[in-house]
Amino acid sequence: MIPWLTPECSFPSIEEALDDPNGLLAAGADLSPERLLSAYRQGIFPWFADDEPILWWSPHPRCVMHPNSIHISKSLRKRIRRGDFEISFDSDFAAVIKACAEPRPGQPETWITEEIQQAYINLHKLGHAHSVEVRINGELAGGLYGIAIGKLFFGESMFSYSTDASKIAYAYFAKQLQKWGYALIDCQVYNDHLASLGAEVIPRAEFKGYLDRYLDTPCNHLWQFDIATDDIVSNT
């Protein structure tokens, strides 16, 4: 059994999360900015379907990526060198999360419900949630979004309407975070696509160590790209 949270309740310790299903910790409460930020600061995130209550998770092991460990394939380097795209931070957060919410092939339902979308749009308006947009011929072609706290970025989802568009977004994003001194990108749950980009899994306790060390590290940069293409395609 997992605890049912009311708006007044705090989260249980992440060590109390279930093994099956992996990481399920609690249910209930709300998606207020205060609740969401509290969750991320403790290594917890919401994930639920439209017909479910709000479910909170903290899986073990945790899928993460160190920004300096991103793998950029030869084909992606070639694609980036073409330069036929524009990349930006936070130019259309609502469009990015809406695109991420669209059903994928073989996945007719989405966990990014309208309730989730509005909750993260609220966080974006408060300066906590950020998006990356890739445009080709002026049209949105790919992107990603997540939450930044201190020197950690908690990734939520990405999408692509055009071949390699989400990979372009992720490559520029990771390299930019590396330049800003970010310690970790939280990818939550392992999948082969993330692994191909350089993600790995670490124990929950190790992930908590990153939270303890980096959540309160000052982060004073502007959310603007200031890296060159050579910073992305260089083999060094």
109 versus 158: the higher-pLDDT residue is 158
**What's the pLDDT score for residue 142?**
98
Q: Does 19 have pLDDT greater than 50? A: yes
| CB-CB neighbours of 37 under 10 Å | 15
> CB-based burial of residue 114 (10 Å sphere; 0-12 exposed, 13-18 middle, 19+ buried)?
exposed
pLDDT at 181 over 60: yes
Tell me how far CA of residue 54 lies from CA of 24, 103, 111, in angstroms.
11, 20, 11
**Confidence tier at 109 by pLDDT (50, 70, 90):** low
pLDDT at 236: 47
Confidence of residue 235 (pLDDT cuts 50, 70, 90): low
Say whether the peptide bond before residue 21 is cis (omega within 30 degrees of 0).
Answer: yes
Please tell me the pTM assigned to this model: 0.95
What does the mean pLDDT of the chain come to? 94
Alpha-helical runs (H) found in 112-164: 114-125
User: Which among 68, 75, 40, 95 has a CA at the least distance from the CA of 176?
Assistant: 68
The neighbour count for residue 27, using CB atoms within 10 Å, is 15
Q: Is 231 left (phi over 0), alpha (psi -120 to 50) or beta?
A: alpha
**DSSP three-state, residue 5:** strand
Q: Please determine, for residue 80, whether its predicted confidence score (pLDDT) is greater than 80.
A: yes
CA 85, 194, 236 angle in degrees (round to 5)? 65
H helices of 22-149, in order, are 33-41, 74-82, 93-101, 114-125
pLDDT, residue 103, reads 82
Q: Residue 121 carries which side chain, given as an amino acid letter?
A: I
For residue 104, the model assigns a pLDDT of 72
CA dihedral sign, ordered 97, 99, 100, 102: positive
> How many CA atoms lie less than 13 Å away from 124 in the CB half-sphere?
20
CB 172 within 8 A of CB 180: no
Q: How far apart are CA 31 and CA 114, in angstroms?
A: 12
Going along the chain from its start, the domains and CATH numbers come out as 4-59 (3.30.70.3550), 63-233 (3.40.630.70)
Query: Does residue 112 carry a pLDDT above 80?
Result: yes
What proportion of the chain, given as a percentage, has pLDDT over 90?
88
CB-based contact 228:87 (threshold 8 Å): no
